[in-house]
């Protein structure tokens, strides 16, 4: 997999209180990924980009919210996020890459 495809698979890290707790407790990191990315694609991309060993990948499809603005109904886009569990003793500095 070439480097341009790696950056298309992994879009951005998701940083929140929940993801910070996951990093501390279970060594899991959360990334926004491409909607057509598979678990295998995500695993390869994280391992090559951050030079870590991935144990497991869980994927969640997030539905976009409906929003109203000045009497017009709109909808935010659907997106996908991946929970990536790393091997013991490994970590990713997501604040430096955000």
Do 44 and 50 touch, CB atoms closer than 8 A?
Answer: no
pLDDT tens column, 51-66 = 999 999 999 999 999 9
pLDDT > 60? residue 72: yes
Q: How confident is the model at residue 1 (pLDDT cuts 50, 70, 90)?
A: confident
pTM of the model: 0.88
Q: How many domains does the chain have?
A: 1
What domain range includes position 18?
3-88
**Does residue 70 lie in a domain region?**
yes
Do 18 and 44 touch, CB atoms closer than 8 A?
Answer: no
Do 42 and 59 touch, CB atoms closer than 8 A?
Answer: yes
**Does residue 23 lie in a domain region?**
yes
**Does residue 98 lie in a domain region?**
no
Q: Residue 74 is part of a domain; what is its CATH number?
A: 3.30.70.330
């Amino acid at each position: 997999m070439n480097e341009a495809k790696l950056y298309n698979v992994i879009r951005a890290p998701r940083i929140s209180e929940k993801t910070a707790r996951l990093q501390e407790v279970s060594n899991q990191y959360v990334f926004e990924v491409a909607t057509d990315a598979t678990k295998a694609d995500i695993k390869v991309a994280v391992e090559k980009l951050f030079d870590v060993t991935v144990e497991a990948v869980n994927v969640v499809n997030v539905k976009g919210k409906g929003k109203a603005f000045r009497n017009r109904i709109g909808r935010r886009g659907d997106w996908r996020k991946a929970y990536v569990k790393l091997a013991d003793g490994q970590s990713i500095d997501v604040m430096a890459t955000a």
